[in-house]
């Protein structure tokens, strides 16, 4: 199958592209490299450096290739930045997505997988199902929910909307992984960075959430399992004849607090931490009810523990720093 992946030079997109190439698919990637890296792109993928609203280059791609399905990942994803720059997120994540999807449909693409986020939900201390109330607490979540609503209104398309919970770890084959620096807002990536520079302390943003230990709770899913979900979704889309929009939660259904993650990290190295103020827009708890995903896609995860997720990230970063002679700043 010929698959176009927008944002395919990023952390998640590069993993999906490698795994789909392994399965015999032909992969084309478009990415403006604003947050991704050419270093993460498989040599077997066709890569185009361009934005998703660059109609001129998109026309060239569609003229040269018969694309069967689009996986749309390209987006800005920092909750913290979205609070400071809401217009940037609305423009890039929503308006450009509308333009991109409409162009694809105009060129006879009717099958899509869209990466959304658990941040679209109203925070709850209960597990969130796909029917749970959506009420984003930040502009990033709002931009993704607007995209979902746009896709749901579209006629004549088959689309799977995947609401990612917290994606973590790195490719077990060490081909790709997260490469962001200390500015990363992702907890596990921050911990891995500190592993390589243990002079730094981890700042926990808030210890007065309405949770058991006062720190935020998240549902962490390993990147390899998230990639597997996309592979299963492709097969699902091929089987379905009628037009349909379906939403799946992508998580293990197990909530872990920030202190739980730190406890696992301390089994690997002497991680020191302190407390800071809550970040505006950060929900207290986001945990998936993944029953629908497991039933529809016939998935049975072997849930890796946090220590294994952390070690996969450490091994990747060690390999990345050595292979590309990148300084761990």
Burial of 269 (0-12, 13-18, 19+ CB in 10 A): middle
Cα–Cα distance for residue pair 165/255, rounded to 1 Å: 10
Q: What is the dihedral of CA 218, 222, 227, 230, to 10 degrees?
A: -30
| Separation of alpha carbons 95 and 101, rounded Å | 10
> Of 89, 121, 140, 252, which one is the catalytic site residue?
140
Residues with Cβ within 8 Å of residue 184, at least 6 apart in sequence: 178, 190, 193
Distance (Å, rounded) from C-alpha 192 to C-alpha 312?
A: 10
For 96, what's the count of Cα atoms within 13 Å in the CB-facing half-sphere? 21
In the residue annotation, 140 being an active-site residue is answered as yes
First-to-last CA distance in the chain?
A: 40
Taking phi over 0 as left and psi of -120 to 50 as alpha, with beta for the rest, 211 belongs to beta
Alpha helices by DSSP H, listed for 209-305, are 223-239, 258-265, 291-297
Catalogue the active-site residues.
140
């Amino acid at each position: 199958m010929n698959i176009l992946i927008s944002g395919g030079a990023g952390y998640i997109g590069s993993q999906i592209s490698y795994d789909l190439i392994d399965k015999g698919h032909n992969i084309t990637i478009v990415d403006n490299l604003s947050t991704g890296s050419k270093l993460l792109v498989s040599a077997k993928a066709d890569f185009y450096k361009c934005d998703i609203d660059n109609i001129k280059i998109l026309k060239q791609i569609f003229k040269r290739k018969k694309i069967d399905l689009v996986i749309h990942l390209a987006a800005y994803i920092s909750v913290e930045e979205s609070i400071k720059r809401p217009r940037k997120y609305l423009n890039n994540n929503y308006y450009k997505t509308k333009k991109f999807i409409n162009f694809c449909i105009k060129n006879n693409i009717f099958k899509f997988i869209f990466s959304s986020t658990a941040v679209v939900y109203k925070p709850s201390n209960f597990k969130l199902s796909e029917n749970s109330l959506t009420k984003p607490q930040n502009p990033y979540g709002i931009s993704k929910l607007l995209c979902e609503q746009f896709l749901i209104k579209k006629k004549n398309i088959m689309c799977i909307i995947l609401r990612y919970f917290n994606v973590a770890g790195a490719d077990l084959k060490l081909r790709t992984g997260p490469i962001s620096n200390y500015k990363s807002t992702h907890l596990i990536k921050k911990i891995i960075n500190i592993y390589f520079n243990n002079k730094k302390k981890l700042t926990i943003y808030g210890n007065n959430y309405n949770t058991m230990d006062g720190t935020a709770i998240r549902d962490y899913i390993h990147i390899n399992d998230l990639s597997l979900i996309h592979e299963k979704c492709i097969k699902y889309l091929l089987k379905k004849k009628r037009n349909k929009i379906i939403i799946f939660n992508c998580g293990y259904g197990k909530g872990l607090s920030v202190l739980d993650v730190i406890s696992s990290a301390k089994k690997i190295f002497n991680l020191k931490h302190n407390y800071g103020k809550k970040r505006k827009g950060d929900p207290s708890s986001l945990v998936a009810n993944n029953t629908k995903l497991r039933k529809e896609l016939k998935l049975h995860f072997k849930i890796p523990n946090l220590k294994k997720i952390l070690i996969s990230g450490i091994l990747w970063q060690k390999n990345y720093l050595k292979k590309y002679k990148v300084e761990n700043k």
